[in-house]
Chains A and B, each alone.
Chain A
Amino acid sequence: MTSPQPGPEAQSLSAIAISVDGLSAAYAGKTVLDNLTLEIRRGSSFALLGPNGAGKTTLLNILSTLRRPDGGSARVAGADVVRQQTEARRSLGVVFQDSSLDDRLTAWENLEFHGLVYGMAPKRRRERSAAVLALVELEDWRDEIVRSFSGGMRRRLEIARALLHEPQILFLDEPTAGLDAQTRVRIWRYLDELRRARDLTVLTTTHYIEEVEGADTICIIDHGKIIAQGSPEALKAQYGSRWLHLTPRDQAALEAIQAARPDAQPLGAHGLALPADDGAMTDAFLATFRDRLVEVRFQDPTLESVFLSLTGRQLRDRADDQHNADKAAGRRGGRR
């Protein structure tokens, strides 16, 4: 197949890995995506953050050509996800929310299958399979049946498989849900290395705040709409509040501060928290009370507080979530 030479316009567009234009989707009469428009730069790490049911997975399914949009259009690596499905799929690596490995095959056979289905030549299959297995440190398990793998090992194998055919874009749907913190850190380290080395674009959906701190751009979506987008710092600066946590020297100091700053909130038994967004005011306060404080600490805004102030609710109940993830893993493990 020959593709036409890219014109100047196409060349300037190639810096864009994913573009979504006015995308809409409905499920059983309910709007899941509402006229969504966004652009993702090549080589960036883009995180879609939102509670369950916000439309993240639907968006990912449309971008990976598993579902047709009900309105609007989307392009991945320049290929339209409806009209140029094969081209779009070729440039994508996808890690799904639930395991999509064949657990009656060995790790190596799963990779071999993937390589064959993506039409890779035997030599390249062997080289790439060995390389990605090493990347996720599973070389010692290459001939083990996947059924015997732990959740974390499966996840790593799945990420290795998605990278096997050297995609330009990697989709990660809740990639590290149900993984321990150590594995989560390690996986993100691999992905960041790849991004730098190969200009890989990473699109992640998650409802774990910790997972998006390292992203270049965070896009918070809720009810199928983008409610905020920007770098973690920009979002915190725009929507979060900074606080000054302090411990007065004695009861007299505490009362003096409370008198001077009626907006101070009590913090613990002896502490106080002051809103610290206004730098000049904070400096003035510190200049006055410096000698009467035992401890002073700035509390930067967190994405959690950003999310809270934007949507008016917590991302979701953590304990409940972990419980469900374990339950799902147990059910799969048991039946397979």
Chain B
Amino acid sequence: MNPIVMALRGLYGVWLREITRATRDRAQLIGGISRPLIWLLILGVGLNPYFRGEVYGEVRFVIPYTYLQFLFPAVIVLNIMYTSIQFAVSVIWDREFGFLREVLVSPMPRWLILLGKVLGGATVATLHGALVLILARFADVTLSLEQVALALLLMFILAFGLTSFGVILAARVRSFEGFGVFSNTVILPLYFTSSSIFPLDPALTRAQQAVTYPEWLVFLVQINPITYAVDALRGVLINFNQFAPAMGVGVIVAMAVVFFVVATIDFARQ
């Protein structure tokens, strides 16, 4: 029998299992829906009027986007981050409850098993990100089909990288309880320092950034890879970039490659 066909069947089997499990996990789906609603409806709508270049009644700079529009791509990234990194729980689960051995004694090579799992996790995370896209009209974001396709592609590559990152975390965390704490101390700080809820430069021109925000914060934002992922999605969805457009794509792809390679090395060692 053709070994490539057999390998593809195995890959499909591992992927399908992740998808089936995710569709049966109501809590995850509820999280995927409620999270963007909270961020956009409450935070987005609440802060929308304050997002203006106005200080003491004097207009300092003109901002061409509403806060909801600005926040919208970031909420997609947030949803992907949560789902991807939570994916580590599935890896820990397999390990703790013995299912892992069922695949480890199968003829599938380790890296292929991991690829199937990560593709499955990334698919679920991308779908959770896409749930936010449904709210586009509400956030005053008009999208062409082309924009949606490009955004989905970027979202998937980002989800692939973050899911691999989740696997790397899983290899270092021994318990579910530990992981809960871990994921919150990883996801939220990364999200807040990714220029997701505030622009790096209030004038959106980069002219006054260091003046307006303390240097340490600007530094944190600039070294955070999520910053560039959010920026890439903003470029596609609302046509606004704070950095060179190629930079965002480059960082997303680099994360996917590096994290997957590290995760494979980790996984092979088990």
Contacts and interface: CB of A to CB of B under 8 A. Distances in A.
B9 interface: yes
A118 B24 contact: no
A114 B98 contact: no
Most buried by A among B6, B17, B24, B105: B105
B205 to A, nearest CB: 51
A119 B10 contact: yes
Contact of A98 (B7, B12, B20, B98): B98
A87 to B, nearest CB: 8
B109 interface: yes
A155 to B, nearest CB: 13
B49 interface: no
Contacts of A98: 98
Given A99-B98, A332-B97, A116 B16 contact: yes
B14 interface: yes
Interface in B9-28: 9-10, 12-14, 16-17, 20-21, 24-25
A99 B98 CA distance: 7
A211 B78 CA distance: 55
Given A89-B106, A113-B17, A100 B99 contact: yes
Contact of B107 (A66, A115, A118): A118
A119 to B, nearest CB: 3
Contact of B101 (A66, A86, A118): A66
Contacts of A96: 98, 101-102
A89 B107 contact: yes
A105 B105 contact: no
A105 B17 contact: yes
A114 B102 contact: yes
Nearest to A161: B102
A117 B21 contact: no
A64 B109 contact: no
A200 interface: no
Given A94-B105, A113-B13, A119 B21 contact: no
Given A100-B101, A102-B17, A332-B97, A119 B12 contact: no
B1 interface: yes
B107 A116 contact: no
Nearest to B2: A119
B214 interface: no
Interface string B94-121: 0001111111111111000000000000
A115 B6 CA distance: 10
Contact of A117 (B5, B101, B103): B103
B10 A116 contact: yes
B40 to A, nearest CB: 31
A104 interface: yes
Given A102-B99, A119-B9, A86 B109 contact: yes
Most buried by B among A99, A116, A117: A117
A119 B101 contact: no
A118 to B, nearest CB: 6
A117 B98 CA distance: 16
Contacts of B101: 66, 94, 96, 100
A92 interface: yes
Interface string A136-180: 000000000000000000000000010000000000000000000
Interface in B68-114: 97-109
Contacts of B17: 102, 105, 109, 113
Contact of B16 (A66, A94, A113): A113
Contacts of A100: 97-102
A101 B20 CA distance: 14
A105 B99 CA distance: 12
Contacts of A1: 3
A120 interface: yes
Contacts of A64: 105
A41 interface: no
B21 A116 contact: no
Given A1-B3, A96-B98, A336-B97, A117 B108 contact: yes
B21 A112 contact: no
A56 to B, nearest CB: 16
B105 A66 contact: yes
A166 B25 CA distance: 33
A119 B98 contact: no
Contacts of A90: 107
Contacts of B16: 113, 116
A163 B212 CA distance: 68
A119 B98 CA distance: 21
Contacts of B21: 102, 104-105
B23 to A, nearest CB: 10
A311 B251 CA distance: 63
Given A105-B21, A117-B14, A161-B102, 4 more contacts: A1-B3, A100-B101, A101-B102, A104-B24
30 contacts: A1-B3, A66-B104, A66-B105, A86-B107, A86-B109, A89-B107, A90-B107, A96-B98, A96-B102, A99-B98, A100-B97, A100-B99, A100-B100, A100-B102, A101-B99, A102-B21, A104-B21, A112-B13, A113-B16, A116-B10, A116-B16, A117-B9, A117-B14, A117-B103, A117-B108, A119-B5, A119-B10, A119-B107, A121-B1, A332-B97
A-B pairs, top 9 by smallest CB distance, nearest first, are: A116-B13, A119-B6, A100-B98, A100-B102, A117-B106, A90-B107, A89-B107, A117-B10, A98-B98
